[in-house]
Amino acid sequence: MERRHFPRHETDPECVPMSPWQAESFPTCNGFHETGIESLVDNSLRLLSTSGSWRDAWRLKAPIAGQKDSVDNIIMKTINQASRNKHTFQDRYFEFSRVDSLAMEKLTSSPYVMNIYGHCGMSVMTERGGEQLGHVARRISSRERVKMAIKVAEGLVDVHGIGGGDNASLVHNDINLNNIFVGGNFRTPLLNDFNIAVLLMKDRRSGQACAFTGHYPNPQWKSPEEQVSPQGGSKGQLNEKVDIYAVGNLLFTFLTGKAPWGHLAKHHPEELPKIGRAKMTEGLVPPVPDEYLKSKDPYLRVLRQAMDMCFQFRPEDRPSAKELAQFLEEAKVEADQSDIEFGRKRRKRK
């Protein structure tokens, strides 16, 4: 098998890693080999999901050292049979796994990123994060949804800010309701699944950040610049602002309780390519029902305003993750005050 140097820029040889950490790897293969999976199959190992494009997710119950009769729920992701049949033991898949585990390793200090326990080859072990954000968001109040949005934005600040430089150095590239889990009594969102994350690079001559090319132009979820043109390839050169657009999709669900373009995706999937083209040429965004546009709920207004900021057509017009988190924090304070005043007026009328 040919071995290639990673990380490397896909198209421009003058683009080099932005920071030395991007080339690091911390495999813990001994830990995997010591797990003794064959002895855990009876009660401890359960298949949770086969929906991943190249890995399956398993739940593993492992004893906690020093705590009698206590176990910790661990998620183990391993390459699935379909991927084996496609001969995907290739450099790029090993690189996907390296970036996934490296991102979680470097983000250990963030309370908004899933904890990693081990990594070897294409396999990874992490904590079990709880419920998917999409399920939780539909059950909590509008105020709690704003608080959750703040934490998601703060988590993205951590992701983009790895290394502490002036430029973003990592793009999650797959922010969605299924890749964020909620732990801590439904209070803490945990970003997960960094396996198609992009390590941003810089031009060795100018030091400026290099753009990257998109490969996942899903019309329902992805930004205008990620859609594929008739000539092939993504419309624009991409940067970390694709993650901000993706947060807009989350906020749409926080606001309406539905996925953007969800009706089309379920009943008329053949129409989705038209949505992708309209996004690319007109900046089309999912329509918000009137009941939410006209709502007097101050927290729904905050979600709508933040969503509009994220859905800006031009990437440079979208806020940074830090600016988004700051806006949400300040808007929540105003909404709290408005909610208090509204409550007082309501009590007086009674």
C-beta separation of 199 from 170 below 8 A: yes
Q: Is the dihedral of CA 92, 96, 101, 102 positive or negative?
A: positive
In three-state form (DSSP H/G/I as H, E/B as E, the rest C), the secondary structure along the chain is: CCCCCCCCCCCCCCEEECCHHHHCCCCCHHHHHCCCHHHCCCCCEEEEECCCCCEEEEEEEEECCCCCCCEEEEEEEEECHHHHHCCCCCHHHHHHHHHHHHHHHHCCCCCCECCEEEEECCEEEEECCCEEHHHHHCCCCHHHHHHHHHHHHHHHHHHHCCCCCCCCCEECCCCCHHHEEEECCCCEEEECCCCCCEECEEECCCCCEECECCCCCCCCCCCHHHCECCCCCECCCECCHHHHHHHHHHHHHHHHCCCCCHHHHHHCHHHHHHHHHHHHHHCCCCCCCHHHHCCCCHHHHHHHHHHHHHCCCCHHHCCCHHHHHHHHHHHHHHHHHHHHHHHHHHHHHC
Q: Is the dihedral of CA 120, 123, 127, 133 positive or negative?
A: positive
How far apart (Å, rounded) are the C-alpha atoms in residues 315 and 311?
9
From first to last of its 350 residues, the chain has per-residue pLDDT tens of 344 556 777 778 899 999 999 999 999 998 777 766 555 555 566 767 766 667 888 887 765 555 555 456 788 888 876 655 565 677 888 899 999 999 999 999 999 999 999 999 988 989 888 889 999 998 999 999 999 999 999 999 999 999 887 789 999 999 999 899 997 666 899 999 998 999 999 999 999 999 998 888 889 999 999 997 655 555 558 999 999 999 999 999 999 999 999 988 888 889 999 999 999 999 999 999 999 999 999 999 999 999 999 999 999 999 999 999 999 999 999 999 987 765 545 444 44
Q: What are phi and psi of 12, to 5 degrees?
A: -115, 110
Domain ranges of the chain: 26-127, 131-340
Q: Looking at residue 347, what is its pLDDT?
A: 45
Q: Looking at residue 89, what is its pLDDT?
A: 73
Q: Looking at residue 164, what is its pLDDT?
A: 80
Q: What's the fold here for domain 131-340?
A: Transferase(Phosphotransferase); domain 1 (1.10.510)
- Tell me the CATH number for domain 26-127: 3.30.200.20
Amino acid, res. 108: T
Q: Looking at residue 78, what is its pLDDT?
A: 81
Q: Looking at residue 1, what is its pLDDT?
A: 37
Record the tokens describing residue 16, joined without a space: 């080099």
Those residues with Cβ within 8 angstroms of residue 7's Cβ, 6 or more apart along the chain or in another chain:
17, 22, 23, 95, 99, 199, 201
Q: Which residue has the tokens 């129409």?
A: 271
